[in-house]
Structure 1
């Protein structure tokens, strides 16, 4: 019975790749510090919560669900029922941590811990056979190019607001996909029209003698499909009123960008967290 429960936990974790379901993925992972995933390459180690969502973002960007099927499974309960290890041989056709994989023989090992709400994964390790078809990662220059465009956008918007001639339709909207969505810390989901409404209050403060500043820093970059990248960034936004009062906000953002037919990087999605 325990072996079956462990297998179901792992199957649900793998299904999160198929369904691009971040919530389901997190539901199978331990919430304690130290959760880690090792990919099939040396540069695919993941040790923080936000980055666990990156492989799911890869699937969403690819535009179709991968095919996942467990061919063989083994598990062993340890520590008087408090922990377990498991291994699976998987037929996986799609992407793993933004790397294309085709063919059977993907091996995955897991370490699990029994928590109050059931079995939770604390470590994952993916590996492939030498002869498997594993394509090279996408050009890292895409990520550098996309982040440079992001920095330039922040600089441009800052300049236009402080010159008091900011025009959302001309200065920011062209960098947002028409179906752009931003998840914010209050739990709301903002489309392009809602994003537009966040700027008049800023412009009002600046027009009264205040100043605005928006800077971005890169934390992580993952090229996805060609012409698509995942960026994890930190943004500092400072709005200073005419009396010198500063409203300083620090955000962590997950960003999904795509290069359009004109060669311009545009935002498809953002997830913003206030720190």
Structure 2
């Protein structure tokens, strides 16, 4: 409807489709190219790159963004850049304060969003967390259970997604438990997410792969294992997967003792507010702008 040519570039394209997209971009026949990290690859050449829009900016490294800015075959022009994030990392927040950036702020939640309560519990109270899950599922709601690892590790004493999946299947036999993580095939990941979105799965055990791009309005509980090991930005992003419908939602942060003073500050900050800007400022204060 806009009268422009749009192409999609991602890693899963066939060789033929990929060649067609790359040729169209290099020759200037494509006006807008939408893509993943594939846009940074050396063989992607842009004829007249004028604007770079980076969504979920905190997911991309500095070198990646700089490499994209240098990709235009027209060496006499530098593309404009628009970066977007709901949870600016400390470096981004510092850039808005000290760098050459014009900032636009959207400080309102979308209409119809419910409240999110955040509580912090030690790992020995995991059984009580399961009871809350059962109650919410009895109301027809769904839940996420996020773990920092896929498999058990001898080096890291973290809760793993695969073992948690088995535990919940054994303990919550009345519920349908799903599993999604980065090592699954694309088909299995898509199937797991579709089952959850369609309401066929009550509890989805996952790694942090669900941090962005997941929108299931019926989900009302987010459980995060080893919350003391995650940064404020990541905790806020994960929490944002719930509270997307009209129902009151609950984020449960499970921690392993002992807690460092920094970890205590992080957990206290995430519990105290749902405001992403306040959280970003606290993250900058704790971590610095590096």
TM-score between both structures, scaled by the size of structure 1: 0.29
Larger RCO of the pair (alpha carbons < 8 Å, separation 6+)? 2
Between Structure 1 and Structure 2, which shows a larger proportion of helix residues? 2
Between Structure 1 and Structure 2, which shows a larger proportion of strand residues? 1
TM-score between both structures, scaled by the size of structure 2: 0.28
